[in-house]
Structure formats: structure tokens, C-alpha cells
Amino acid sequence: DNIYFQELERIKSTMIKQNNDISASSSSSIDNNDINVIERLLFHGTSSIDPMKIINNPNSFMKDYSNQGFYGKGLYFAELARYSNNGYRYSVPQTNNQYQLLVCSVICGKSKEYETQVDEYTEEISQKKLVEEGCHSVHAGPHQPGEVGPGDDDSCMYIVYNDTQVS
């Protein structure tokens, strides 16, 4: 199946922009050699939630609204759009098969690598556990939507546990 873009629109929450400006000014005294700031553009599907509700919410992405996943309760982002499109896309009401995904700027920092490992330990990962290991995110996969391991709709994933890592 071929997928065609009908429209690509850049939208940035004013609340996120304000938070980023504050974070940038407050971190200006940090020695950049001490931190590993890796920012990536990644895909996120919102399933039944209108993406505009997330964008227009002053808190934007909130881990509290996330479901438990292979790597704990976090915010999940795919490297490849096919994963989000085939598993978690938002169907635009009253359209003829139009869908929406979010392309997000995610500050991944230093990632803990898990490849395709999924077990009781990975399902309990949290921000606290990552910080104790000197990491800021999880990098894992490839996985398919809702399934462990590679397949037609697979992608490697980044998972963050701090809401402020996403814009």
C-alpha cells in the first residue's frame, strides 16, 4: 500500500515554546560537555485522541495519560512512521480515510539499550531507574505495534519518562 501526504502542518504549542525558552535560559550555566543532549524527530500516534487536544493542552504530553507498555509507563515514539501509522494513527472524523500522526522533537539524551528484550524488568522501567543508571531514555526494538520483535510495521522506539523531554 502506498501512503500519500495530503498535508503536512507544523504546529507548536505556545506553552511548550515558553517552557523551552525558560529551560534554555536556566541551563545556560551548565557546561555542555557534561551533558549528552541528543534531540530526535520521532513519530507518535494518538489512537482515538485528537492530536490537537494534546498540542493545545498547556501540559502537552503527560505520562499520566499513557498506558503501560513493554518498557513501563512512559511516552513512546517510533523512528519510522509505519509503526505509528499502522498501530496508533488518529482517524480524522468525517473524512475519507484521512489520518494524523504527530512528529515530535524528543530530547533522548543518553539512552539505555534493550533491543528486543521484553520481560518483567523492562515492564517496570521508570524515570527513577533510568536516572540511577545515568540514562534519560530507553531505545529498543524493532517491535511491531503491540507485538515483540520485527515484522512488516516494525520500528525501533524511544521511550521517555519525563514529560518535558517532548515538544
Instruction: State the pLDDT confidence band at 154, using cuts at 50, 70 and 90.
Output: very high
- End-to-end alpha carbon distance in the chain: 30
pTM above 0.85, yes or no: no
| 2-24 average pLDDT score | 58
Instruction: State the pLDDT confidence band at 21, using cuts at 50, 70 and 90.
Output: low
* Residue 26: predicted pLDDT: 40
| 123-150 average pLDDT score | 93
Say how many C-beta atoms besides its own lie within 10 A of residue 113's C-beta: 10
C-alpha cell at 65: 495519560
pLDDT at 24 over 50: no
User: What stretches of 49-88 show up as alpha helix (H) in DSSP?
Assistant: 51-56, 81-88
* Residue 128: predicted pLDDT: 92
pLDDT digits (tens, 9 = 90+) for 38-92: 899 999 998 888 888 888 877 777 776 777 899 999 999 999 999 999 889 999 9
Mean pLDDT value across the chain? 82
How far lies 159's CA from each of 2, 24, 163, in Å? 28, 22, 11
| 100-129 average pLDDT score | 93
Pick from 110, 103, 111, 92: nearest CA to 45 = 103
